[in-house]
Amino acid sequence: MAPQPPDRPFDPFVPSDDEPWDRPRIHHLLRRAAIGPTPEQFAALSNLSPGQAVDSLLDYDVAQDPFNDLLTRMEGFFNFNRIEDVQGWFFFRMLGSPRRAQERMALFWHNHFATSASKVDRPKLMHNQIELFRQKGLGSFRDLLLAVARDPAMLVWLDGQASKKGHANENFSRESMELFTLGIGNYTEQDVQELARAFTGWQLQGDQAVFNPKLWDDGEKTIFNTPGKYDSQSAVDLMLAQPAAPKHLAEKLLKEFVHPEPTQDHIDYVAGQLLANNWQIKPVMKQIFTSRLFYSEWAYRSRIKSPVELVAGAIIGLGGKANTDFITQTTARMGQKILFPPNVKGWDGGEAWINANTVLVRFNFGLVLATQQQNIYAERPDVEAMLHGQGATTAPQVVDFFDAMLLDGRLPDDENAKFVQFLENSTTTSAQTRPAFVLNHGTYYKSVRDVMQLMMATPEYQLA
């Protein structure tokens, strides 16, 4: 029987003998909230309570960005007038940031407010938009939505910079209701037309958005049957006052971070929390990440990893210094070309990530990563040293190490035994009467890496 959501789903998760604060639950938190776990993060969070662990991930100061000084020193190495460098910087931060939850939220908002460099032919604007998501991703959704309405990349993407009194462009008003705030069926065509008038007057000057009051339609508009002389700010407030607004965002958050099929009760509860917290995202995410629902078997491994989660998460776990070009190209072949969402809806995700073409790329990625072939790393991870450092020298110990790292230690006993037998047989000659596995340079570069690749090809590893 398939797992079901728990009773009292949003009560705080309290570890017990039956439901311990263990590797699967800690890794689950790190996969969902911070792209992927590392051995060091697991060790640190295992000494904290669930609430303290979540606080350690989400309580960062956006004003004290550890990458600001680094970016200044790396000027010339990263040129944000090249889209490849903007993509590379995003992945560089995902892999190396001490607060990966910030990058995970930026990735979520990048898909929610899907904007593509295919039309925004100014890479610096795309970089600035992702930076906007970093700065405001856990703050007020109202402030974020208003900033996105005036964001230069969005003004180009949905033609807002040409929207003026008498010639209001409806692209942003339509998508802001259909995709960003309300969902289909919760507005009329008249609402689209009238809302478009409220967003007139914003233009681009260089890389900046500026408001020209002469181009703003200052006449009375009737939106959601409510008349008023709306501008962009009051229009955003009106959209968020609609009953569908908190439910739409709640569903998106639950699908992304908890389960692809949340119940209506779950959606209604989170919607209520968004309103109770005045649209502040952080306290709602904390409640989600500390809930019984989040740590339930129903939520565990319930989502198919996106290409970015799969590739970046694997590299984070194994360590080393990755080549960001390899990550960009590999995730694109899997169907997620970062900064190039396929349309205004973004990537569909879920089962759409898996098809006859992409599943082979996903499996081959495990092979390439395990064998460290091609141009993956500027500095390769020393997994052999990691094995020795953990005292993993026998075949069962090696299998347990990779089981813990890749599969949360949940490999069934019969499958574990098959992997152990595989390792032992790889060093057994016909003249031997018993297995004689020895972890050394030769077995590491052959059979041990085969075990890594095979575990990464399991269905469980493809799930977040």
Task: Identify the band that residue 122 occupies on the pLDDT scale cut at 50, 70 and 90.
Answer: very high
pLDDT higher than 70, residue 37: yes
Contacts 24+ apart (CB under 8 A), 76-85: 80/123, 80/124, 80/127, 81/123, 81/124, 82/123, 83/117, 83/123, 83/126, 83/339, 84/325, 84/328, 85/123
Q: What are the tens digits of pLDDT across the range 380-389?
A: 888 888 898 8
Q: Residue 163: its pLDDT value, please?
A: 96
Q: What is the mean pLDDT of residues 347-374?
A: 90
Q: What is the mean pLDDT of residues 227-247?
A: 98
Q: Which of 186-190, 431-435, 446-450 has the lowest mean pLDDT?
A: 431-435
Q: List, in order, residues 6 or more apart from 383 with CB less than 8 Å away.
A: 318, 444, 448, 452
pLDDT higher than 70, residue 370: yes
pLDDT over 90 percentage in the chain: 82
Angstrom distance (rounded) from CA 63 to CA 68: 10
What DSSP state is assigned to residue 164?
B
Q: List, in order, residues 6 or more apart from 51 with CB less than 8 Å away.
A: 12, 286, 290
Largest CA distance in the chain: 92
Q: Decide: 259 and 303 in contact? Cβ < 8 Å.
A: yes
Q: Decide: 248 and 275 in contact? Cβ < 8 Å.
A: no
Neighbours of 52 (CB within 10 A): 11
